[in-house]
């Protein structure tokens, strides 16, 4: 029986990267579509063919958080993971100037100062 579901019946004429029946191997998983697209672009720039699974599902149903899977050919898995780990190491060196705790202290000081000024003005006007 032929598949009549248009969403599952794609016939690609000449797939130069993936053989028939080979869906590749999952190299990485992402929750953010932007992060997944950047990782895929990084691999493609290094000459590693790859594709993302679940991108359409996430765009059609954005309120449901899907896991986006980055697939490559089995022979490219090790090299792809090396490239992605290098990129992760480069971004882990970035450190924000202040932590969340320091930012919370600054906000508390600003709010406390504003309340103190208001209290002093109320007391002096009475």
Q: Are residues 74 and 110 in the same domain?
A: no
Quick one: 103 and 88 in the same domain?
A: no
- Residue 97, pLDDT score: 58
Q: Which residue has the tokens 């993936």?
A: 18
Q: What is the DSSP letter of 63?
A: T
Chain centre to alpha carbon of residue 65: 11
Judge if 49 and 29 occupy the same domain. Answer: yes
Instruction: Enter the pTM of the model.
Output: 0.55
* Full residue range of the structural domain in which residue 27 is found: 10-95
- Shared domain for 30 and 88, answered yes or no, is yes
**Among residues 22, 24, 33, 25, which one has the least CA distance to residue 56?**
33
Domain match, 41 and 78 both: yes
pLDDT at 32: 83
pLDDT of residue 12: 46
Q: Which residue has tokens 């579509």?
A: 33
Tens place of pLDDT per residue across the chain (126 aa): 444 444 444 454 545 555 655 667 899 998 888 888 999 999 999 999 988 888 777 777 777 777 889 999 889 999 999 999 887 666 555 555 556 788 888 999 999 999 999 999 888 886
Q: Is residue 1 part of a domain?
A: no
Whether 103 and 91 map to the same domain: the answer is no
């Amino acid at each position: 029986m032929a598949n009549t579901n248009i969403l599952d019946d794609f016939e690609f004429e000449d797939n130069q990267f993936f053989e028939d029946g080979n869906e590749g191997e999952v190299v990485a998983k992402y929750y953010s579509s932007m992060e997944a697209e950047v990782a895929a672009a990084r691999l493609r720039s290094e000459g590693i063919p790859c594709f993302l699974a679940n991108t359409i599902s996430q765009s059609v149903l954005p309120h449901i958080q899907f896991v986006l899977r980055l697939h490559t050919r089995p022979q490219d898995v090790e090299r792809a993971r090396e490239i992605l780990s290098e990129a992760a190491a480069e971004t882990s060196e970035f450190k924000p100037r202040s932590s969340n705790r320091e930012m919370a202290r600054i906000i508390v000081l600003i709010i406390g100062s504003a309340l103190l000024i208001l209290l002093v003005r109320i007391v002096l006007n009475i």
